């Protein structure tokens, strides 16, 4: 077997936009990402596909934008249709769910439908670096959207929700009229208007308002599925973790590809790099011949 040194079977990539997750890149990325915590694996996939963005920049993106990128990668790799299984919270029966990813994530296929590459038009949502200002219970709070980097940073924290809030609140001050001199809330005293309040000291109601406002501003951060159990008629909303779902698919693809390499290597004595360079169509033809 000759090796021309090119991945003849791999999709072409002209260096602009997302890079196709071709077999060799998929296997390399899968191997590296397997060693990471589950929340880091989707990030590793996107960093492989968007090499000019890099890990840091992708980790700093609001979750909605990040999810839209994952949806684009998933469409290019497997397609738009998703078949999943959920467990009914009432009867524990299994419920099959089928839906189009583009409808769920709000990331339509844009202008790049049919290009065969990852979906550039899929990147929507809150801009990186955007801030939100909310007023609740006598406090004004500035906050920024949750990112994948935040989720990674609070891993192992005793109180992840509070740690997440502390990272996303960029500033908080007390509002209202100053109190009488000598009283709490008087200028220069604790609780005075304009005094900065650490995120950890915000009242529970303010914290809840911040979390609500962040979720509303980034609605595609955690897509929800409306489910209906055919066995007991229970209806509920279930979050759809696209990152975990896509990772499981990437793992299946990687193991399937390794299985193909194994069969061809045994039959012909070819090296892994040669087999992957064949491309999927020719590889399947050789597999047919080996199995005939």
Give me the residues that bind Zn ion (CB under 5 A), please: 88, 90-91, 93, 229, 231-232, 234
Minimum separation from the CB atom of position 79 to Zn ion (A): 29
For residues 288 and 138, give the distance between their C-alpha atoms in angstroms, rounded to a whole number: 71
| Chain-centroid distance, C-alpha 194 | 37
Minimum separation from the CB atom of position 66 to Zn ion (A): 32
Minimum separation from the CB atom of position 223 to Zn ion (A): 22
50: nearest Cα among 20, 14, 80: 20
CB atoms < 10 A from the CB of 121, how many? 15
Nearer to Zn ion by Cβ, of 162 and 234: the residue is 234
Radius of gyration of the chain (CA): 24
Q: What string of H, E and C letters represents the secondary structure of 207-246?
A: HHHHHHHHHHHCCCCCCEEEEECCCCCCEEEEECCHHHHH
Contacts for 164 with CB less than 8 Å, ≥ 6 apart: 146, 150, 151, 154
Minimum separation from the CB atom of position 228 to Zn ion (A): 9
Nearer to Zn ion by Cβ, of 212 and 228: the residue is 228
Minimum separation from the CB atom of position 94 to Zn ion (A): 9
Q: CB–CB of 205/199 below 8 Å? A: no
Nearer to Zn ion by Cβ, of 215 and 225: the residue is 225
Nearer to Zn ion by Cβ, of 91 and 267: the residue is 91
């Amino acid at each position: 077997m000759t090796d021309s040194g090119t991945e003849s079977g791999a999709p072409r990539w002209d260096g602009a936009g997302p890079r196709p997750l071709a077999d060799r890149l998929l296997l390399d990325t899968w191997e590296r990402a397997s060693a990471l915590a589950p929340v880091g694996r989707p990030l590793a996939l996107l960093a492989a596909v968007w090499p000019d963005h890099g890990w840091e920049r992708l980790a700093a993106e609001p979750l909605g934008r990040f999810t839209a990128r994952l949806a684009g990668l998933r469409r290019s790799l497997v397609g738009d249709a998703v078949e999943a299984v959920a467990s009914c919270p009432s009867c524990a029966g299994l419920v099959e769910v089928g839906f189009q990813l583009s409808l769920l994530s709000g990331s339509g296929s844009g202008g790049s439908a049919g290009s065969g590459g990852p979906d550039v038009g899929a990147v929507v949502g809150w801009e990186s670096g955007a801030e939100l200002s909310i007023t609740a219970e006598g406090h004004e709070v500035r906050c920024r959207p949750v990112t994948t980097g935040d989720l990674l940073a609070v891993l192992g924290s005793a109180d992840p929700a509070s740690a997440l809030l502390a990272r996303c609140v960029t500033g908080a001050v007390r509002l209202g009229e100053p109190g009488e001199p000598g009283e709490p809330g008087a200028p220069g005293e604790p609780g005075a208007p304009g005094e900065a309040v650490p995120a950890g000291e915000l009242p529970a109601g303010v914290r809840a308002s911040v979390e609500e406002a962040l979720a509303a501003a980034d609605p595609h951060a955690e897509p929800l599925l409306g489910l209906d159990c055919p066995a007991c008629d229970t209806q509920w909303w279930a979050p759809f973790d696209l990152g975990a779902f896509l990772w499981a698919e990437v793992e299946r693809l990687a193991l399937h590809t390794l299985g193909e390499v194994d069969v061809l290597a045994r039959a012909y004595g070819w090296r892994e790099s040669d087999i992957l360079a064949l491309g999927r169509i020719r590889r399947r033809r050789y597999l047919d011949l080996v199995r005939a």
